[in-house]
Amino acid sequence: MSVTAVIAGQGGLPVHLVAALKAAGAPYVVGSLDGFPPDLPDDTPISFRIERLVPFLDHLVAQGVTRVVFAGAIRRPRIEPELFDPQTAALVPRIVGAMQTGDDAVLRAVAAIFEDWDMEVVGAEEIAPDLVPGPGILCGAPTDADRNDAERAAEIVKALGPLDIGQGAVVAQRLCLAIETLPGTDAMLGFVAASCGGLRTNPNGAKGVFYKAPKPGQDRRFDCPTLGPETVRAAARAGLAGIVWEAGGAILLDRKVAQAEAEASGLFLWAREP
């Protein structure tokens, strides 16, 4: 029987994928990059280092793995050249060349290496389709002004895509209050909460939206935008009217909890058609 490998980083996504595999009775193993242990108390991950990637791949194949899903947050690890084995060292030019291009290129390069070992790399939605909402408003009711802000935010995120900066922006009254950069969504929304209260030109106008979408051309098997209850809480603290994301292009964790949090805070949640 085919085995799925969950290459797990930090955050809630690996937990949901493992739960979906268990519910389906599908065999799986968990791998994790050394230094980034996932929050999976019932599973013991197979820890690996980039410098020893080939032995890890060989081990997965020996375990019967034919399908791989990457899930959760990691940071670029520190590479220690003296730890490379000869087989992995032969892959260095492919990985280093991708690192000079951007994060998405690195992930594509890593996926290609897994595929060289006859493992299919899939997105999270293939393991747990319910994590990716279809188009529609999940709760609340965006106003016309909110829709205008969402349109403007979508334009900004699309324009930033080729620069590989981030996947999100906050817009209020057509003004960009913040864009997502390396520190991530929580840092951006925290900045808006702390610094942007007086920047809205009309204090009685639209409160603003947080918009998130994949970068144009992004391989959605990796680093798919992810939202959840904590995103809702952070948006509420930032005084926003709602959260908008590209329909089919973002993962929503703990949907029922996120909707309940949004309703309690008076926020709307909207999976917007691109």
CB 269 within 8 A of CB 135: no
Cα separation values, 150 from 79, 107, 190, Å = 40, 29, 19
Structural tokens at position 97: 């060349």
Report the interhelical angle of 92-99 vs 103-116 (nearest 10°): 160
Separation CA 57–CA 43 (nearest Å) = 19
Mean pLDDT of all residues in 27-55 = 90
In this structure, the chain runs to a length of 274
Just give the CATH number of 3-127.
3.40.50.20
Q: What is the pLDDT of residues 178-211, one digit of tens each?
A: 999 988 899 999 999 998 766 666 777 889 999 9
Looking at residue 184, its pLDDT comes to 87
Looking at residue 108, its pLDDT comes to 78
Separation CA 31–CA 55 (nearest Å) = 13
The position carrying tokens 């799986």 is 28
Confidence of residue 272 (pLDDT cuts 50, 70, 90): very high
Q: Where are the domains of the chain?
A: 3-127, 132-272
Mean pLDDT, rounded, of the chain: 89
CB count within 10 Å of CB 153 equals 27
Give the residues across from 46 on adjacent strands.
Answer: 31
Looking at residue 105, its pLDDT comes to 67
Per DSSP, helices labelled H in the chain are 13-23, 53-62, 86-89, 92-99, 103-116, 124-127, 144-160, 185-195, 229-237, 255-265
Which stretch of DSSP H or E encloses residue 3? strand 3-8
Comparing 31-35, 48-52, 101-105, which segment has the lowest mean pLDDT?
101-105
Looking at residue 164, its pLDDT comes to 77
Q: What is the pLDDT of residues 221-249, one digit of tens each?
A: 877 889 999 999 999 999 999 999 999 99
Which one, of 272, 213, 206, lies nearest residue 239 by Cα?
206
- What lies within 8 Å, CB to CB, of 228 at 6+ separation is 12, 252, 253, 254, 257, 258
Type of residue found at 216: P
CB count within 10 Å of CB 135 equals 12
Mean pLDDT of all residues in 30-36 = 90
Angle, CA 105 vertex, CA 100 and CA 108 arms, to 5°: 145
Looking at residue 104, its pLDDT comes to 63
Looking at residue 201, its pLDDT comes to 64
Separation CA 74–CA 25 (nearest Å) = 28
Cα separation values, 158 from 10, 57, 129, 172, 182, Å = 27, 35, 25, 17, 17
CATH of 132-272, one of 3.40.140.80, 3.40.50.2000, 1.10.3720.10, 3.40.605.10: 3.40.140.80
CA 220, 223, 229, 231 torsion-angle sign: negative
The position carrying tokens 């900004």 is 156
Angle, CA 191 vertex, CA 244 and CA 218 arms, to 5°: 45
Q: What is the pLDDT of residues 66-115, one digit of tens each?
A: 999 998 877 767 778 888 889 988 887 877 766 666 556 677 788 889 99
